[in-house]
Amino acid sequence: MMQPGTFEITSQDPESSARCGLLQTAHGQVETPVFMPVGTQATVKSLAPEEVSGLGYRMILGNTYHLNERPGADLVERRGGLHRFMNWPGGILTDSGGFQVWSLAKLNQITEDGVTFKSHLNGAERFMGPVESMEIQRRLGSDIAMLFDECIPYPAEKTYAEQAVERTLRWAARCKEQPRAEGQLQFGIVQGGEFADLRSYCAEQLVNIGFDGYAIGGVSVGEPDELILPGVEASVTELPANKVRYLMGVGMLDQMLESVARGVDLFDCVLPTRIARNGSAVTRRGRLQLRNAVWKEDDRPIEEGCTCTTCRHYTRAYLRHLIHCGELLGYRLLSIHNLHCMWSVMADARSAIRSGTFTVFRQEFLKNYQKVAEQ
């Protein structure tokens, strides 16, 4: 088996920066480009691990902050680490907790050593910095540990963004010094807000420190859609071609394909399971809201031609009924479809890259895609 962290580019699109690759982790290979489901609290919501792997996924996410709050990193460690605890055979990437400190805390205090904030569960005072984050991730035993960073909100003054980038870089250097679990990789996170020069600078400095892979953070944090791709471009430019590039928190299919064209390899987002709980489906034509009365007597599947279990066996009318009754099966069936759709679009993108037809595939997909489907 190749060493964890090995990233082999297997195909390169001749008309864009899209590429196919193989990332080796301590728990197997991951084909890229690929979407990774989010399992914040050691579960992809409503699905068993074997169902997630059955959909084709080989890498999921866990969250450092949430898992440390409950059940606790020490408990997970005593039970053999996160893989054994949740019975997941593939790769696990753990977020550093930096985003949660920013998004969940109503009041936090940032110092050179980290962030003091209050637990979203009980209001108890908490502290997390680069040392604490990496220690929790070591105990969890994830395959990829994300560096503790300062997520820059939108909008933000450039002076603040500059200070946050410098602090992120200092924290990155401290993260690199911390002990790791066996085979655990570390990914640096590019910050810089909406400022292209800061993103380029941050990426360049992280590469100088040297990590196993690099993430693009601080996008999809409330900024207009038109700022997301420029943020990706400014970050990717300075990142090495022989390392994995991971765009954090982006899960709209059109944005993912546009980012693949710019050289991004990994994606994650809570969107597929979150919107399932609200009665919505991901389709290749856009989002479909199954609560709507128009589907009350519709015997079609969610998406014609989809091969997922949900579409092969259940109708829109039945799914609408389940959702309106609050039946858990409805959320499960929608989650299965949504994750299958995300997987199959990325699988088709990989096939198109390998055959040299990615540009045609991407253009045809985007021509038919809308934010909200008209079906």
**Which residues are tagged catalytic?**
95, 268
Q: Are 275 and 287 in contact (CB under 8 A)?
A: yes
**DSSP summary character for residue 312:** H
Q: Is residue 70 exposed (0-12), middle (13-18) or buried (19+ Cβ within 10 Å)? A: exposed
Mind giving me the DSSP string for 192-203?
Answer: -TT-HHHHHHHH
Q: Is residue 57 exposed (0-12), middle (13-18) or buried (19+ Cβ within 10 Å)? A: buried
Residue 150, token pair as written in the block: 């300062």
Q: How far apart are the first and last CA of the chain?
A: 47
Q: What is the three-class DSSP state of 96?
A: coil
Residue 356, token pair as written in the block: 């040299």
Residue 344, C-beta contacts closer than 8 angstroms, at least 6 positions apart: 306, 307
Q: Is residue 196 exposed (0-12), middle (13-18) or buried (19+ Cβ within 10 Å)? A: middle
Q: Are 60 and 27 in contact (CB under 8 A)?
A: no
